[in-house]
Structure 1
Amino acid sequence: MVNKYQQGLDKNPANYSSLTPLSFLQRSAHVFPEKTAIIDDDMSLTYQQVYDRCRAMASVLDSMGIKTGDTVSVLCFNTHELLESHYFVAMTGAVLNALNTRLDVATLRFILDHGESRVLFYDTEFELLVQQALVDMVAPPLLVAVAREAGASKGLARFSYEQMIKMGEPDFDWQKPADEWDAISLNYTSGTTGNPKGVVYHHRGAYLAAMSNAMALNMTADSVYLWTLPMFHCNGWAYTWAVTAIGGTHVCLPKVQTDEVLGRIQRNLVTHMCGAPIVLNMLVNDFYKAGIKLDRPVQFAVGGAAPPSSVIGKGQQVGFDITHLYGLTESYGPSTVCVVQDQWKALDVDALARKMARQGVGLYAIDEVAVEGTEPGTLAPADGKTMGEMLMRGNTLMKGYLKNEKATQEAFAHGWFRTGDLAVMHPDGYAEVKDRAKDIIISGGENISSQEVEDVLYRHPLVLEAAVVAMADEKWGETPCAFIALKDPLNIPDEQEFIVFCKANMASYKAPRKFVFGELPKTSTGKIRKNILRDQLTGGG
């Protein structure tokens, strides 16, 4: 039988167009042409100016032969140039590769080669790094210098950024992608072993992630967003597009320093920020120690590990309204949010922290969040106890890994995206990650969640950061070892004090047998590098 709702009711240019975040900039330039879109150290730009500049740059790239499927790389701090690249690259049909500013020479060379980068925009601060990375490259990219100081040399580069803007046509007639599934960006994982994998995003996912994330933080045209999150990290969790979508104001911040953050919050009336736990911890502790109380609340969305009760409590006192998000590079950044229910607001800070420790529920563009059962393809009961791999389905998951079909198939096995995190599903439908699958500690046949032990350690008043990894043990096979960064690095406590504290707050077999005090190694996005800590215990690395 023919479906009457399909007869003569086809897609046409009037009722269908590909979703793309490029339309956000076009719209905001139309609705808010004179409104300040970007505030940076060297210039402030209205939405009309940003749109004109992006079209001009796109026209120059187009004249150079940059087209659909080409890769354009950008190595910059959180400046207007990197923000603008989220639009002008895609206007040519090309794919943006925003590069981690902490890459070493070998990794930078690998990414430029693997992604087949045609053009590299780079801040002149990275001149030597770029020069070394291009050595022996068979097909090096065209170089464009981002010189932040007036009159600065463009060094190796053929052009400077502002020269190219002036060369372009501000009325360039860019086109939406023919297919919203077309790639828009290429982000490389900060893998701790082997070469990083290239995660490919599409226009549809970028559009939906931006809308979803703006809604998750209740953003409006009055929102002022401070860039304490690296724009290179999952394209700034899609807030590079989300803030523009709602016509808000981007406040750039090249490097996160407490006084710079405070100054921008106060000068620009910042309403929203995002960041890794290390950024939240630093700002909360520094503000609290200095007795700073913000004039108006600032919403801070933290990704990764859940904030401990001490940070939540101090955060409330200094003026941060904290939201806990969870996600991965493969999910455009945030994929779940711990939605605070009204009844939680009456809880004391410790009880609230236990609720907020959960990763929560899927964001708007995620269809399902589940925990795998004991057999592949089955789901665990929502009992808050049965642990399995956290799974997802939805619209804001990557296309796959560039040139790595095997890894892509493994990531999407059995019709779900497999996060690699072990979790439980609570009766209220909130998921809680207990550990990375590779970080679980098996002691005498018992599974110990390193995250559970870390949560206890964060309650100790001397602890700034904590990481727990497995340590070989002749009797038990493995036991926990705790690495701790102290709030006062000069005040080294007695290890026995921590042993007593842990045993008083958890089952004895879960308590670490060894404590190591000192700074913790981290990735560029603030994640603690447990592989390095494991190597310290085994004598590797």
Structure 2
Amino acid sequence: MATDLTLPIGAYSVGATYPDQIAIVAADDTTTTFGLLLERGNRLSNALRALGLRNGDVVAYLLRNEPSFFEVALGVEQVGMYRVPINAHLTPAEVAYIVRDSDARVLVASHDLAAALAPVLDELVEHRFVVGTPVAGWHDYEAWLTAADAGTPADRRLGATMGYTSGTTGAPKGVRRSLAAILPEEVLPAMDRMTRLFGFRAFDGVHLVMAPLYHSAPNTFAVNALHLGHTVVLQPRFDAEAFLTAVAKHHVTSTHLVPTHFHRLLELPEEVRAAADLDSLETVVAAGAPFPPNLKARALAWLGPVVWEYLASTEGLVSVISPTEAMAHPGSVGRLIDAKILDENGEPVAAGEAGLIYFPAGQPPFRYHNDPLKTAATVRADGYATAGDIGRVDPAGYLYLLDRRVDLIITGGVNVYPAEVEQHLAEHPAVADVAVVGMPDPEWGNQVVAVVQLADGEHHRELLPAELDRFCRSVLTRAKCPRHYEFVDTLPRTETGKLLRRVVRDTLSSSNGARPWTLRR
């Protein structure tokens, strides 16, 4: 098959032109061809239309890393509807909230996840379908598809994903974009924009998915890989040794990881990593959480110049940095892509100064579903939006992420960016993971507190606060150095590696202000 195409031709066209090409390899090694994927996507499109759904309607799905995820994605997006992937780790009440808030008319769920929704069954939509083992109160997904027409649906029109924000700073909100009256194939070059930034090629790749598909980044990269004609290999969850095995077995060329995954890979014994056959890897993309420079340097030294990083959110893309640039500009997340840094008055800041990061909100701009106030607070009149990230750009044009605006600590009138302090503390050999938060203080307004997960091995906790304090003071100003240290077995993070600072703060608050490792100054 040709490998010199410069633009993707789309999963729909690949299915029609190269029906025997392998599209998906499931965790049990069963395969789905592009021809079969197209057929089942068509059946789903026609089944939705038979239920009375039309352009602009919403289909929610609660699925694990399985082929049905892509059937729903392709089926929904070729008939002008919105697809809403839901986090499989949410509680039944949280799932019900998203189904209601999104105005979904159909819900598709894996059998175990459908069974867990029994307590909220009456709150869910009538049209609900279970994939796999039957569940009381649910219609059979396979029977529904089998009864539908397998032909190309009439009136094809591009749909979209309405991803829900993680909700780490409040209730999740759907990020909704208006639908254009165009065919799905007409937008493929734009959909492929982010993919092409990382050097992917049409018909020449195998993409490994070990992160949950319900998250926007793994979802986007995997669907774009299919549109490029790549084979997508699915694994249920991330496991470091299983990752090495899968890359060698399937000759994987690309994957999307979070920094936590790199940490776990680099914790493997040296002899295990040395024996792994990773020669096929061309692009390993990292995002989802701050990537400590020392960890990234170790990853590049091991894997070679294949580790890319980008800064983005469900709302939009900010920057990308190549492996070569990363080695020359450690700690940067790359050059801005049509983005800009503004101060509190909406004016551009000078090089080196901190400000809010704004990026194009799209044409037309996105809006938060059912939340016009949040939309107005996020999207400017000029079409630029912010996810609340604070950063600075150096004179060479490289962006350095400082923190989220909501996480900013103001102590004694000084702004402290937790990510900056965490990045430095993570360099200490005794620190495996760290969260820095601000806690109320009657004198200073807030005190800087570090919650540390220790690296493997014996460490004298009674000596560490003073040692870590000296380590911080060697680089950071006094105001940025934590006044309190606490040690925990693990820190709360999402599956995409995002630190749940709110959980850390709530846990500290519930400890009645006890600070066992306090530094007196």
- Which TM class, normalised by the smaller chain length? 0.7 to 0.9
Which residue in 1 is equivalent to 2:87? Answer: 100
Q: Which runs of 5+ in 1 are unaligned?
A: 1-20, 346-351
Which residue in 2 is equivalent to 1:508? Answer: 478
| Alpha-carbon RMSD | 2.7
How far apart are residue 90 of structure 1 and its match?
A: 2.3
Paired residues of 2:115 and 2:135 also in contact (CA < 8 A): no
Q: Give the match's secondary structure for 1:505.
A: coil
Residue identity opposite 1:51 in structure 2 = L
Q: Which stretch shows the higher mean deviation, 205-214 or 451-460?
A: 205-214
Residue deviations 1:100-149 (CA, integer Å, cap 9, x gap): 111112211111111122221111121332212224x2x623221111xx
Q: Which stretch shows the higher mean deviation, 387-396 or 108-117?
A: 387-396
Which residue in 2 is equivalent to 1:190? Answer: 166
Distance, in Å, in 1 between the alignment partners of 2:68 and 2:458 is 41
Paired residues of 1:78 and 1:253 also in contact (CA < 8 A): yes
How far apart are residue 474 of structure 1 and its match?
A: 3.8
Which residue in 1 is equivalent to 2:515? Answer: none
How far apart are residue 218 of structure 1 and its match?
A: 0.9
Please point out which of 28, 31, 36 is paired with 2:22: 36
Please point out which of 515, 528, 531 is paired with 2:499: 528
Q: Give the match's secondary structure for 2:401.
A: strand
Distance, in Å, in 2 between the alignment partners of 1:238 and 1:397 is 20
Distance change >3 Å, CA 295–CA 532, structure 1 → 2: closer
Residue deviations 1:168-217 (CA, integer Å, cap 9, x gap): 2222334332xx6xx52221111134421111145669745631122122
- Counting aligned pairs with the same residue, the percent is 22
Which residue in 2 is equivalent to 1:300? Answer: 284
Distance, in Å, in 2 between the alignment partners of 1:197 and 1:288 is 43
Distance, in Å, in 1 between the alignment partners of 2:269 and 2:147 is 45
Distance change >3 Å, CA 217–CA 492, structure 1 → 2: farther
Which residue in 2 is equivalent to 1:379? Answer: 348
Residue deviations 1:218-276 (CA, integer Å, cap 9, x gap): 11222111112322112635223310222111111122222332221111011111122
Distance change >3 Å, CA 127–CA 414, structure 1 → 2: closer
Residue identity opposite 1:361 in structure 2 = R
Which residue in 1 is equivalent to 2:127? Answer: 142
Paired residues of 1:324 and 1:356 also in contact (CA < 8 A): no
Paired residues of 1:94 and 1:184 also in contact (CA < 8 A): yes
Please point out which of 457, 463, 467 is paired with 2:431: 463
Q: Give the match's secondary structure for 1:219.
A: coil
How far apart are residue 470 of structure 1 and its match?
A: 1.0
Please point out which of 480, 485, 496 is paired with 2:466: 496
Residue correspondence of structure 1 range 379-458 to structure 2 within 5 A: 379-381=348-350, 383-384=351-352, 386-393=353-360, 395=362, 399-415=366-382, 416-458=384-426
Paired residues of 1:56 and 1:171 also in contact (CA < 8 A): yes
Q: Which stretch shows the higher mean deviation, 284-293 or 59-68?
A: 284-293
Distance change >3 Å, CA 171–CA 201, structure 1 → 2: same
Which residue in 1 is equivalent to 2:116? Answer: 129
Residue identity opposite 2:380 in structure 1 = A
Residue correspondence of structure 1 range 195-234 to structure 2 within 5 A: 195-201=171-177, 207=188, 210-220=191-201, 221-234=203-216
How far apart are residue 510 of structure 1 and its match?
A: 1.6
Paired residues of 1:285 and 1:314 also in contact (CA < 8 A): no
Which residue in 1 is equivalent to 2:517? Answer: none
Which residue in 2 is equivalent to 1:176? Answer: 156
Which residue in 1 is equivalent to 2:308? Answer: 323
Distance change >3 Å, CA 337–CA 270, structure 1 → 2: same
Residue identity opposite 2:492 in structure 1 = P
Which residue in 2 is equivalent to 1:4? Answer: none
Distance change >3 Å, CA 304–CA 295, structure 1 → 2: closer
How far apart are residue 396 of structure 1 and its match?
A: 8.0
Distance, in Å, in 1 between the alignment partners of 2:478 and 2:217 is 43
Name the TM-score, length of structure 1 as normaliser.
0.84
Distance, in Å, in 2 between the alignment partners of 1:71 and 1:489 is 51
Distance change >3 Å, CA 530–CA 456, structure 1 → 2: same
Q: Give the match's secondary structure for 1:69.
A: coil
Paired residues of 2:163 and 2:176 also in contact (CA < 8 A): yes
Q: Give the match's secondary structure for 1:419.
A: coil
Q: Give the match's secondary structure for 1:77.
A: coil
Residue identity opposite 1:126 in structure 2 = L
Distance change >3 Å, CA 373–CA 414, structure 1 → 2: farther
Residue deviations 1:454-498 (CA, integer Å, cap 9, x gap): 111111123222211112334433232112223328756433222
Residue identity opposite 2:73 in structure 1 = H
How far apart are residue 25 of structure 1 and its match?
A: 1.5
Distance change >3 Å, CA 121–CA 111, structure 1 → 2: same
Q: Give the match's secondary structure for 2:397.
A: coil
Distance, in Å, in 1 between the alignment partners of 2:357 and 2:412 is 25
Distance, in Å, in 2 between the alignment partners of 1:169 and 1:371 is 51
Distance, in Å, in 2 between the alignment partners of 1:217 and 1:232 is 22
Paired residues of 1:294 and 1:318 also in contact (CA < 8 A): no
Residue identity opposite 1:404 in structure 2 = D
Please point out which of 233, 237, 261 is paired with 1:279: 261
Q: Give the match's secondary structure for 2:129.
A: strand
Please point out which of 297, 300, 311 is paired with 2:295: 311
Distance change >3 Å, CA 120–CA 374, structure 1 → 2: closer
Distance, in Å, in 1 between the alignment partners of 2:426 and 2:17 is 47
Please point out which of 112, 115, 135 is paired with 2:99: 112
Paired residues of 1:29 and 1:48 also in contact (CA < 8 A): yes
Which residue in 1 is equivalent to 2:45? Answer: 58
Count of matched residue positions in the alignment of Structure 1 and Structure 2 = 492
Aligned pair 1:483/2:451, yes or no? yes
Residue correspondence of structure 1 range 351-370 to structure 2 within 5 A: 352=328, 355-363=329-337, 368-370=338-340
Q: Which runs of 5+ in 2 are unaligned?
A: 1-6, 513-521
Q: Give the match's secondary structure for 1:83.
A: helix
How far apart are residue 445 of structure 1 and its match?
A: 1.8
How far apart are residue 288 of structure 1 and its match?
A: 4.6
Residue deviations 1:37-66 (CA, integer Å, cap 9, x gap): 111135211211211111122222222222
Paired residues of 2:60 and 2:85 also in contact (CA < 8 A): yes
Residue identity opposite 1:308 in structure 2 = P
Distance, in Å, in 2 between the alignment partners of 1:305 and 1:111 is 24
Residue identity opposite 2:215 in structure 1 = H
Residue identity opposite 1:40 in structure 2 = A
How far apart are residue 531 of structure 1 and its match?
A: 1.0
